[in-house]
Structure 1
Amino acid sequence: MPESPEVQALAEILDERLVTQTIAAVELEEFRALKTRARPLDELVGATVTAVRRHGKHVEIATDRASLVISFGRAGWALLDEDSDAAVLAQLRFDSGSVLTVTDAGSFLSLGLSVVSDAGEVSSIAKLGPDPLDPAYTREQFEAALGARRKQLRALVQEQESMAGIGGAYSDEILHLAKLSPVVHAADLSADDRDRLFAAVVSVLTDAAAARRGIPLSQQKAAKVAAMRVHGRAGEACPVCGGTVLDVPGSKGSAQYCPQCQTGGVPLPG
């Protein structure tokens, strides 16, 4: 799943390359991907790109007519002047000769395309909470998201209404750096726990965004995977303590943690 650091890298590349370019043609290969049936992609033909922005895990390509919002879902992505092995859902061709290819590599379609006058018309963007990758993100916003909620941290950190842009991979990395169990409730955190979690949320995302900047779009996923310390590394040695990374029980292998670093050396009960 693309998360805010990778989507930020994509938005920066598209903003640099596509602003002032005119959309010469569009091709929708998978009609189910278009979520605004009353506003087809054809509406964008002849429009000029004015900006590309990130909203959580979504990208908005703004033009002088309307905006195209790409919601990436679990396995969606976009490439500019690069080929893909994934299923091609749509393409935008520009007067410069550049081609933006929108893909989905999942076993089911999760990517969505929306042609809107304002990005806030997309419901998943309208309900986004504060974005920890935003330089203006504050401790007060973080505390408001946590409160004294009886919700497990891994789920809470991924809650888009609370902290925009974080998915499964970075939630594992954040909790590992903060030395917190993925199943502890926000209500049970001490003041020191909350300090470490806030610092980890900001630093993990900020460092990842800096590391992804400028990497070719086709290599973003591989760069993300290579940078993971615990996510996707069950059975491997933790790079911090040398202990064995384990799957979070019940996650079916989609979530990982280090017992030595995060749960006092005691594995979570299965």
Structure 2
Amino acid sequence: MPESPEVQVLAETLADRLAGRALRDVDIIEFRTIKTRGRTPEALVGAELVGTQRFGKHVDLRLGDAHLLVTLGRHGWVRLREPGEPPAPDPEAPPTLATFEFDDGSVMEATDAGDWVSLGLSVVDDPTDVAAVAKLGPDPASPDFGRDDFDNAVRGRRKQIKAILQEQESLGGIGNAYSDEILHAAKVSPVAHAAALDPAALDRVFAETIETMRGAIAAQRGVPIDQLKAAKVAAMQVHGRAGETCPVCGDTIRDFAFGSTTAQYCPTCQTGGVLL
């Protein structure tokens, strides 16, 4: 699932590459991607890309006075073809569900690698017209994010800390992977309830939330967008590494499933040696 670091770099790359270009053609291949039935992306043809912005895990492309809000969902992503470059020949590449051609011949392809369509395209006057954006909590990657924002989202809640970190209404932009990384760095169990964490543990989670998310954005800037997902995976310390050695203490990283999600964690670093 795309999370805020790679989505931020995607938004910045699209702005660098396409700002000032006019949208020349739109081809919607999968109509289930369109979430604003009264306003379709085809209506944006002729508009100039003014800029881009990230909202949580969503990319906002401002085209003229309107906004094309791309909700990446669980498996959505974007490919960018240079002028004259043919579509990806790799049969294993995620299928393209919509294409947006600009006046210099470059093409933005919206893709989805899942078995069900999670990619969404909305044409709106304001990004907050999309419900998922309107309800986003404060974003730890934002320079405006502070301790009050964190405490309002976390402190005193009788809910597992990993679930809170992933709850978009509480903290925007964090998903399964980076929540594992934050809690490993903070030495906190993923199943600990926020209300049970002592002040020192809360301090560590706050600090690592900011460091992890902002650090990942800084590390991924300059990475081509078709390599961002691989760069994310390569940078993970514990997420997706069950059975491997913890880089901090040398214990074996474990996998734990609960609810509708999974967590990878280090027993020595996070749970006092207890296996979940």
TM-score of the two chains, using structure 1 as the length reference: 0.97
Shift of 1:266: 1.2
Aligned residue number for residue 81 of structure 1 = 81
Aligned residue number for residue 172 of structure 2 = 164
Aligned residue number for residue 148 of structure 2 = 140
Shift of 1:124: 0.2
Equivalent residue pairs, number: 268
Q: Within 2, Cα distance between the matches of 1:40 and 1:71?
A: 15
Of 109, 124, 134, the residue aligned with 2:117 is 109
Alignment of 1:154 onto 2:162: yes
CA offsets per residue over residues 48-69 of structure 1, 9 Å max, x none?
1111000000000001131100
Q: 1:60-79 maps to which residues of 2 (within 5 A)? A: 60-79=60-79
Secondary structure of 2:123's aligned partner: strand
Query: CA, structure 1 residues 39+253, in 2 after alignment: closer, same or farther (shift >3 Å)?
Result: closer
Aligned residue number for residue 210 of structure 1 = 218
Q: Within 2, Cα distance between the matches of 1:253 and 1:8?
A: 24
Q: Within 2, Cα distance between the matches of 1:75 and 1:213?
A: 21
Unmatched 5+ stretches in structure 1: none
Q: Spell out structure 1 runs of 4+ moving beyond 4 A.
A: none
Amino acid at match of 2:81: D
Aligned residue number for residue 16 of structure 2 = 16
Q: Within 2, Cα distance between the matches of 1:244 and 1:252?
A: 23
Of 129, 134, 153, the residue aligned with 1:121 is 129
Q: Within 1, Cα distance between the matches of 2:263 and 2:160?
A: 13
Secondary structure of 2:258's aligned partner: coil
Q: Within 2, Cα distance between the matches of 1:106 and 1:221?
A: 15
Aligned residue number for residue 95 of structure 1 = 103
Q: 1:35-46 maps to which residues of 2 (within 5 A)? A: 35-46=35-46
CA offsets per residue over residues 73-118 of structure 1, 9 Å max, x none?
1010011117551010101000011110000001111111101111
Query: Is contact 1:44–1:65 with CA below 8 Å preserved after alignment?
Result: no
TM-score of the two chains, using structure 2 as the length reference: 0.95
Q: Within 2, Cα distance between the matches of 1:178 and 1:107?
A: 35
Amino acid at match of 1:175: L
CA offsets per residue over residues 127-184 of structure 1, 9 Å max, x none?
0010000011101100010120100011000011111000000000000000000000
Cα RMSD, aligned residues only: 1.2
Q: Within 2, Cα distance between the matches of 1:91 and 1:65?
A: 20
Q: Within 1, Cα distance between the matches of 2:259 and 2:269?
A: 19
Q: 1:243-262 maps to which residues of 2 (within 5 A)? A: 243-250=251-258, 254-262=262-270
CA offsets per residue over residues 188-224 of structure 1, 9 Å max, x none?
1111001100010000011110111111111111100
Percent identity reads 54
Q: Within 1, Cα distance between the matches of 2:47 and 2:262?
A: 41
Aligned residue number for residue 6 of structure 2 = 6
Q: Within 1, Cα distance between the matches of 2:217 and 2:151?
A: 23
Query: CA, structure 1 residues 73+253, in 2 after alignment: closer, same or farther (shift >3 Å)?
Result: closer
Aligned residue number for residue 56 of structure 1 = 56
Query: CA, structure 1 residues 265+105, in 2 after alignment: closer, same or farther (shift >3 Å)?
Result: same
